[in-house]
Each structure stands twice: as structure tokens, then as C-alpha cells.
Structure 1
Amino acid sequence: MQMSDFEHLRHKPPTALDEPRQLIVACCQLRSNVNLSRIVRTASCCAVSRVIVTGNMKIDPKIARDGAEQLPISRHRSLPPVLRDLKKEGYRLVGLEQTTNSVDIHHFSFVRNTVLVIGNERQGTPDDVLRLLDDVVEIPVYGMPYSFNVATATSMALYEFCRQFPTG
């Protein structure tokens, strides 16, 4: 195939899903408006059903772009009560964190009804949230520093979920 065999398309239309994604992103209180805005943008690209935010971080519409308008975003004072309710609704709570028994994301099988729980950039996931999780996955790091940026890691995890469930 030669380069002339490809046509440049600036933005392809979204891929239609057979069913809506039953994937929720729940963010512990983050420190950076930029990280939260990047997470919202990626969540929107992945057709996440909603984003749960704690704390008073602001979403920058220039970074989040259409995600800030298209994606349901709910704000809560505390994450544990919300996670307990979602667990009762049948969602599996999966933390994205490095812990003693976390599983390499490359060897983890998501379920359709998943809440991906994202920890704070510096302190990680608080203990009261960790105790509620069904699973914890981590993304292997091969250099320094010891972990990826929270927005980058969230993007990788969302992409892996979409890879496992490409049609919704």
C-alpha cells in the first residue's frame, strides 16, 4: 500500500455502539483542573455513561472540549456512599492504583458494569475507598517515575476497557 492509498480524514464520526457503555469513572478528589479536564475528555471519547467527581475542581471546557457538554457529570462531597450505592446496583468497583495485590491491567478482564475508581495524583486512593473495591488494577511502568500521570493512566485504562468491549 502506498501513501496515496490513504485519505486524510480530520475527524471520523463516532463508532456506533450496540448498547450504551455501563462504565462509570469515579474520581477521588484530584489536585489539578487540567487532569480532571483531560479525564473528562477521554471519558467522553470512550462513551462512558457518566463521571463522578469529588472536591471542588473545575472542568476546563477548552481541555475537556465536547466532553464537558455531552457527558453527565455528578459532583459529590464524599465518594464511599456513592460507591456503595453503585455496588448495590450491580456495578463492579475497579480501582486504578498500585497496591500490594493489584493486578497488571494486561491480565485483567473487566465486566460490562464497571466503575473505574481513580485516586488522587499524590496520595493515591484513600483507605476508605480502597476497602470498597472489588479489584485493583495497575499499569506497569518501565522507567521513572514510578507511575503515570493520573489522566494518562485513566486514558490507558479506559482504552483497555473499550478494547475488551468494542461494541458497548
Structure 2
Amino acid sequence: QDVLNFQKKITPYRNFDQPLNVGGHSVVGDDYISRLLLDLEGDDQQLDLALESRNHAVETIKQSQQQLIVVASLVDRIPNLAGLTRTCEIFKAVGLAVADKSIIEDKQFRLISVTAEKWLPMMEVPVNSVKVFLEKKRLEGYSVIGLEQTANSKPLDHFSFPSKTVLVLGREKEGIPVDIIHVLDACVEIPQLGIVRSLNVHVSGAIAVWEYTRQQRIAT
């Protein structure tokens, strides 16, 4: 008997067949529960629609990404890395390689990137792993292009980017080391008219990314 009484105490719906006052109206318990269930079902449907819409938006972003990977592992200044992150996201690069992904926690980085790192796939490729990374991407069908002034560099405006391109950027002031130049498929340079020899790495990277994008837009 005690057990039965205990069960009665913990059964919350035992009196749901009694009239209830809801919003000033008297309704039967079962009817009230039915309305609650309908409301909950409606909420679930709205949540499902919201999730479906979000997933569709994410898939649309993924499908519209270009087959461009920018390798900035040799770049070490936060403002340049943040600017490149923003540029790569704006032009929907498939990824940006950096030497250390912890930079995204830096306050200065976040001020410049304006959340671009949340929408852009970023890969951690330490400097000593760059050559291995480039070889791996070549096996995946990518062409490895360096942005560097060399004796054999082609002017950017005369170069046709393959759709699957890995763009390698050099160190500030020093450029791309010789050992990495040897594994590149080609080098491109931005024609310059002024006296100063080179552009800031973020600026030159942005120009090259835009030229790649311009060509892909024409092709499609």
C-alpha cells in the first residue's frame, strides 16, 4: 500500500482529467496536454527549419569556395597574417596555411581579421613542413605557384592560374627561400612602376588572390 501511495505521489498526470484554468478558460486536462504537445511540435518544426536553413547556408558557402590555397607559413607579422585571412575569406579561398594557428587568439589579429577566421579553413603548417605540404598538394592535383621576383618569374597579368592553385608567399623583406623555390611549378611577380622594390606581403598576396579570382570568374 505504501508503495502504491508513493507511486501516486510521483505521478504528475494523475489529475489531468480534472478541469484546469488556462488563460481564463476552463479546459480538461487531456485537452490542455494536447495543446501543449501541439505547441511543442510547432516549436520543434521551427527549430528544424532554422537548422535546415543554416546547414543549407553552410553548404552553399562550401560549394562556392575556390580551389585556391594560400600558404603564409613564412609570414610572421600579425597584421599581415590577419589581413591575408580577411582577404582569403572575402575571395573564398579553400584554405590559408599559417605556421601557428594560435595567432587567431591574438587581440591585434582579431581587430584586423574582423571574424574572417571563423569562416575560413585555416591549416597549421610549420615552416619546416612547408615543402612536404607543397608536395602533398601537388599529388592532389594542385599547381604550386610562388609570388616572388626571380629571373624566370612571369608577370602576374600574363600568367594563367590553374583552377587548383597553391599560392606561396614569402617572408617579409626576404621573400621565398631558395630551397622552397626549387619545389615550385612557377613564379609570378607583380609588375611595378615605382622606385621601391617590393610591396608589403599582404598587399601583394591580395593582388595575386584577386587576379586568380578574376581569371576564374571569366572562366565560369
TM > 0.5: yes
Deviations 1:48-74 (A, max 9, x none): 000011257724111111311110111
1:139-150 alignment, distance < 5 Å: 139-150=190-201
TM-score by length of 2: 0.65
Partner of 1:36: 81
Could you list the runs of 4 or more consecutive aligned residues of structure 1 that deviate by over 4 angstroms after TM superposition? 16-19
| Cα displacement (A) at 1:144 | 2.6
Q: Percent identity?
A: 34
Note if contact 1:29-1:55 (Cα within 8 Å) is conserved in structure 2: no
Q: Give 1 or 2 for the bigger CA radius of gyration.
A: 2
CA distance in structure 2 between the aligned counterparts of 1:124 and 1:133, rounded to whole angstroms? 14
| Cα displacement (A) at 1:140 | 1.1
Partner of 1:72: 121
Note if contact 2:64-2:92 (Cα within 8 Å) is conserved in structure 1: no
Per the alignment, do residues 18 and 57 of structure 1 end up closer, same or farther by CA in structure 2, a change over 3 Å counting?
closer
Provide the aligned C-alpha RMSD in A: 2.0
1:6-155 alignment, distance < 5 Å: 19-54=64-99, 58-59=103-104, 60-77=109-126, 78-155=129-206
Which blocks of at least 5 consecutive residues in structure 2 are unaligned? 1-60
Per the alignment, do residues 83 and 25 of structure 1 end up closer, same or farther by CA in structure 2, a change over 3 Å counting?
same
Which blocks of at least 5 consecutive residues in structure 1 are unaligned? 1-15
CA distance in structure 2 between the aligned counterparts of 1:138 and 1:21, rounded to whole angstroms? 21
**Highest relative contact order (Cα 8 Å, sep 6+), 1 or 2?**
1
Q: What is the number of equivalent residue pairs in this alignment?
A: 153
